[in-house]
Amino acid sequence: MTYPHIRPRRMRRDAFSRELMRETRLHAGDLIMVAFVIDGEDRAQDVASMPGVQRLSIDRLLGVADQCVELGIPALALFPAIEGDLKSLDAREAWNSQGLFQRAARALKARHPGLGLIGDVALDPYTTHGQDGIIDDTGYVLNDVTIEALVKMALAQAEAGYDIVAPSDMMDGRVGAIRSALEAAGHVNTRILAYSAKYASAFYGPFRDAVGSSSNLGKGDKHTYQMDVGNSNEALREVELDIAEGADMVMVKPGMPYLDVVQRVKEHFGMPTFVYQVSGEYAMLKAAAQNGWLDERAVVLEALLGMKRAGADAILSYYAIDAARWLRAD
């Protein structure tokens, strides 16, 4: 039977029938807020390339956690911006039990024990060169030596109270090494969110400004360890390896330019699959909205819903709090 007996537009006629046939829905529970922490008290630093985003001292960060809990956002992903004199070639500040990142976790857990905390496991905020690992004399990032540092970092985070450690470095074998170390230390319930398909993307620039690694990195790049932007089959291989090594969740990063990868990963493995709406995506939407070119609320919710429709179970976003408020208002 064909037109006029079949008219798909009939179901689009009214809001109630559109609601009844909607296939994908976005909820606050799908979102993870992303925040940057700095040392000191009562401090807030604007990130110039991410209007509306600030680096916050721990006392200010507690307010962000309050909002997450109030809005039903289940988790907060945290990234540090440390002082330059604490950076080093071996990134040893990353596992300092009294360091900024570990103190932030203890304060957040004391305030909101039930809010999930995700700790970034990568060395770039802590290195003098801005790379995600330990380098040799030529500047090449050494895989196995870097893993030793990442294991120390992950253990320090687990001991401080992070529920999830998230290796975002793309070193080979780091998930298995971290999983073994967590088990041996008794952190059997600390989950691993593996950045399994992290691309060497041009969309990360504002994030590097936020954590203070862009100036250290200079004209360097991360193509020797992050994935080539043209590859999709390789992503499945990387995800497969991380699952075998003990990852509890896998991540595709960035978000919107890689939704085909998100879909393939979810359909192929059926694993909890996360996606990161990265700083460049945020900056583009924010800039267009500030110039009056786009309706910020509409395009942000559409972008997030597209990620969910592609297969993402959860979305890391700088817009998480705003989006949760918009969804509540609907």
| Catalytically annotated residues | 198, 253
Which residues, 6+ apart, have CB-to-CB distance to 255 below 8 Å? Answer: 262, 275, 276, 277, 278, 281, 303, 307, 312, 315
